[in-house]
Chains A and B, each alone.
Chain A
Amino acid sequence: MAARTALPAQGANPIIGFVHRRRRGAELFLLVLALAVGIGAYAAVGIGVQGRVPADIVGYGGWLTALVVAAHVVVRIVAPYADPVLLPVVAALNGLGLAFIHRVDLVDGTDLARNQLIWMTLGAVLFMVTLVVLRDHRVLTRFTYTAGLSAIVLLLLPMMPVLGTEIRGARIWISLGPFSFQPGEVAKVLLVIAFAGYLVLHRDALALAGRRVLFVDLPRGRDLGPILGMWLVSLGILVFQKDLGSSLLFFGLFLVMLYVSTERPGWLVVGGALFLGGALTAWRLFGHVQTRVSVWLDPFAYYGEGTNDTGFQNVEGLFGMAWGGLLGRGFGGGDPTRIPIVESDFIIAGLGEELGLTGVIAILLLYGLIVERALRAAIISRDGFGKLLATGLGSVFALQVFVVIGGVTGLIPLTGLTTPFLSQGGSSLVANWVVIALLLRISDLARSPVPDLTADAEDDADESTQVIKL
């Protein structure tokens, strides 16, 4: 994280008085494109797998359209200045994920896509509720410690004897009747809120004191408390829940937010050292970490006859993506169900097989856009809490994408995390919709005209006049 020089010098302050346009029309247009992606993919799955357009395409497409239009209308009313790109990108990703889960359903005879659509509906509803209820994100600072405490409770829930369930070696699920829920996904959002609230208050103390060693300002020993605490929580998740991915995610998130709030790269050095130390210790002590690393280094040694097949999922994923090549096999043309749980963590491998490198790059760019819009909102946000919150949400999103897709494609060791908006799984989907709602709220506040000008800003046509006025 070094290259700081390449950025434009206009720097810290946006031109005061510059008024953003609302761009709701643009959002609507992009939403139409996003719906075309989602519904088109659904139709393509039907044609590719069954040879015909699915019979329920009208109902499905109608439902998707209704959800998206409702979300758009709510945004138009309660957050008129919100970023116009985020919602369409999310709609496109979500639609693509649904189509692919439906494709897996057709092969496996399962009904995951229907469930996923219900979760998406719930996610969209929560998205709207968040926007309606939360008119100013700064309200959330009141819940700093509540959020932090809830997050810790949620993280502890899977450890409870009756509620918690261990699936595929990680104890991160809770079961309520037929539903299983991953509280870590919700905890993720709560943690960002808690960190942002805490850091915005204590940033000065964390930032000012310290001494300089070899060009970096190292923090004081007594200020190391929070970071050490978070480090221990992450290690605890790793040790007790065997959840490598979340552990990495939470610690990375905390580190980034600490750095942004204090503006001191020293924290990155300390945090990086702690991360390396923790990772090395975990690798030495825990069998499941060692296995992940060995499989990452040479997945083919753990695949096929005569091995224990620990690398089966990785290798099938690699084979699948290679098989997809540049343009992919097309929906129904590949054999993605060879990959275990391809509808969840490995969905990017399945999409890579059927949509090819082109499709994967497009998806990565969509994710990149979400992160870029989040960080843009952070930069133009007028309050520290908003900046931190947006940075945190954007970073956690980016880290999650990097950890899971990097793991599936063999860039880093595989750790179990869901692929935002694509993977099958309700908790992740709902939590991520709320993340987007928060980002829209921050961007709405950041982009809307400064309060005393609100009256004039109603009319877009007057915009140029307003700029001259100041």
Chain B
Amino acid sequence: MNKPIRTVSVGIMLLFLALMLNVTYLQYWRADSLDSDPENRRAVDATFSQERGAVLVGRQAVAESVPSDDRYEFQRTYAKPLLYAHATGWFNYYNAQSSDCTTCQQWIEQTQNDILSGDDDRLFVTRLVDLLSNQGQKGGNVQLTLDPEAQQAAFDGLRQTIGPDGQGSVVALDPRTGKVLAMVSLPSFDPNRLASHDLSEVNAAYEQLDADEDDPLNNRAIQTTLPPGSTFKIVTAAAAIESGEYTAADQVPGGATYQLPLTSGETGLIDNEGRSCGTSLIPFAQAMEQSCNTTFARLAVEVGADAMRDQAEAFGFNEEYFDDLQPQAESVFPTDMNEPETGQSGIGQFEVRATPLQMAMVAAGIANDGKVMRPYLVDEVQSPEFERIEATEPELLSEAVSESTANQVTELMVSTVDNGTASPAAIDGISVAGKTGTAQSGIDDVPPYAWFTSFAPADDPQVAVAIVIQKAPGIDRGEIAGGLLGGPIAKAVMEAVIR
């Protein structure tokens, strides 16, 4: 009987081999895909229990993991929740579950998840040391570019101006590098509530925030596009000078009204709402100081739709350029416009829409000799011991205008602060360049949006700011004007950076 016994042995050996191969496949090759299955509660629990790295602003940790005594080892806490909510985002069980979720919040907690959780390849050595010393994996830290004083000034200024129920946003950039120095969106929310370990609490908080009409979860700085109104005249002026037809010292067409080409009557008639714009030709500086619609509509028509679009796109319109927070809205400059539409677009109306970040980039581009830097929020990533692993290198996004054009537009903007509508942003002893905007919402019953954008010092720019006030319930419709509302905020933010 030995022969069949040997055959049976071989058969059984094959069965055992099959078991071993299958187990190896399961625990080695297939393990990664099973571990990252969003339904795998083990992986989620572990991620959620980890000591994540901190998000730092200046020397303060604005998001960090502190030991917790409930079923998870660490609780994520946000030190200044309202101030930094739209930068950090939040981290809770759901986020841990869907780290690659593309439709949900993709702010620092999410976009820098690999560093914060410690899974990033750059933290390999740290992980190895943790493993060998039998300690739990610790995440690295993320240092943000935000300037705590500028952020606070922006937050306080905006909050004061628009009141508790208002909507608005402030963005400040370092024009030389593209660093985001301040990014505020109001109303804000408390990410601590969304990071609770109690899932029903999280759900209730999220539903409440989601249902809120003022949309606190929206990061208006990058997610809301509005007609930029007169602040867009900076782009129009740049296009006119780039075209070679004008210099800042030239006379430009003025006048109290301007009938757009191909139109007749009220609908195509541009006026200046009573500001002094001369009769036929006026100095370029005056047109900017008084924010003359008639001038810039005509300049846009003269430059032409294509050149206008090229100029707007050179500043970043019609593309996404900000990697550190997602999702973001693209600022829009329309294509295939006819002449009257082009005229409207020259004063930031028609279908032109911009995010506050985009308008800050326009100001920053002018400030930085025409070079628009790619904006970024992550300054550097660090090991758990706060050693620098990698710092973000500033990157040129585009050369929007020549240095000479940039200098001329700066001149015009400086005189707008010195003698014109942007005067509330003036700082003693420092030359400030600025532009106001009051954009028609285009919707009945919705008051206009007040814009303000500026940079300082004009000769050696350190900060560029854009402010939008989307809704300020306490303020009469007639009083909504970019200079009045936005100017003081811009001034406070610029002072915070420069001083």
Contacts and interface: CB of A to CB of B under 8 A. Distances in A.
B26 A321 contact: yes
A352 B40 CA distance: 16
A322 B35 contact: yes
A331 B121 CA distance: 27
B404 interface: no
A364 B10 contact: no
Most chain A CB within a 10 A radius of its CB, from B4, B34, B42:
B4
Interface stretch (A24-32, A70-78, A403-411): A403-411
A372 B194 CA distance: 58
A378 interface: yes
B1 A352 contact: no
B23 A321 contact: yes
Contact of B11 (A1, A372, A410): A1
A402 interface: yes
Sort chain B's interface into a size bin: 35 or more
B46 to A, nearest CB: 8
Interface in B35-55: 35, 37, 39-43, 45
B16 interface: yes
A378 B31 CA distance: 39
A40 interface: no
Contacts of B16: 364, 367-368, 371, 398, 401-402
A323 interface: yes
B4 A411 contact: no
B3 interface: yes
Contacts of A364: 16, 19-20, 23
A411 B27 contact: no
A393 to B, nearest CB: 12
Interface in B295-343: none
Contacts of B35: 319, 322-323
B394 to A, nearest CB: 41
A402 B8 contact: no
A434 interface: no
In the A-B complex, the 5 residue pairs with the closest CB atoms: A322-B34, A1-B11, A357-B27, A322-B31, A260-B4
Most chain A beta-carbon neighbours within 10 Å: one of B22, B28, B31: B31
Given A303-B39, A411-B22, A1 B7 contact: yes
Interface in A98-134: none
5 contacts: A256-B8, A319-B40, A357-B23, A364-B20, A379-B2
A306 B117 CA distance: 31
B15 interface: yes
Contacts of B12: 371, 375, 394-395, 398
Interface of A: 1-4, 6-7, 11-12, 256, 259-261, 263, 300, 303-304, 315, 318-326, 334-335, 338, 352, 356-357, 360-361, 364, 367-368, 371-372, 375, 378-379, 384, 387-388, 391, 394-395, 398-399, 401-402, 405-406, 409-411
Contacts of B1: 260-261, 263, 378, 384, 387-388, 391
Interface in B66-106: none
A325 B3 contact: no
Contact of A7 (B6, B22, B27, B40): B6
A403 B9 CA distance: 17
B388 interface: no
B26 A260 contact: no
A387 B15 contact: no
A288 B20 CA distance: 28
B263 interface: no
Contacts of B28: 325-326, 357
A462 B13 CA distance: 37
Given A3-B10, A6-B10, A367-B16, A323 B4 contact: no
Nearest to A258: B4
A398 B6 CA distance: 14
Interface in B107-154: none
B5 A325 contact: no
Nearest to A368: B16
Interface string B140-170: 0000000000000000000000000000000
Contacts of B275: none
A251 B9 CA distance: 18
Given A319-B34, A361-B20, 19 more contacts: A1-B7, A1-B11, A259-B7, A303-B39, A304-B39, A319-B42, A321-B23, A321-B27, A321-B31, A325-B27, A335-B45, A357-B27, A361-B23, A364-B23, A391-B1, A402-B18, A402-B19, A409-B19, A410-B22
Contact of B26 (A6, A256, A263, A322): A322
A334 B34 CA distance: 15
B276 to A, nearest CB: 67
A12 B6 CA distance: 10
Nearest to B10: A3
Contacts of B477: none
A1 B6 contact: no
Given A364-B16, A398-B15, A402-B16, A409 B22 contact: yes
Contacts of B3: 4, 11-12, 263
A300 B38 CA distance: 12
B37 A319 contact: yes
B10 A1 contact: yes
Interface in B147-199: none
B34 A260 contact: no
Given A260-B5, A395-B8, A352 B42 contact: no
A411 B34 contact: no
Contacts of A7: 6, 10
B42 A323 contact: yes
Contacts of B13: 368
Contacts of A259: 4, 7-8
A405 B19 contact: yes
A186 B340 CA distance: 95
B6 A379 contact: yes
**Most B CB within 10 A of own CB, among A319, A372, A394:** A319
Contacts of A378: 1, 5
A409 B8 contact: no
Contacts of B24: 357, 361
A318 B22 contact: no
A426 to B, nearest CB: 26
A321 B28 CA distance: 9
Given A4-B3, A260-B1, A402-B16, A322 B30 contact: yes
A433 B407 CA distance: 93
A360 B28 CA distance: 12
Contacts of A12: 2-3
B203 to A, nearest CB: 15
A364 B20 CA distance: 7
A338 B42 contact: yes
A153 to B, nearest CB: 29
Nearest to B12: A398
Contacts of A323: 31, 34-35, 40, 42-43
A406 B19 contact: yes
Contact of A1 (B8, B19, B20, B40): B8
A411 B42 CA distance: 22
Nearest to B42: A323
A356 B37 contact: no
Nearest to B41: A338
Contacts of B41: 319, 335, 338
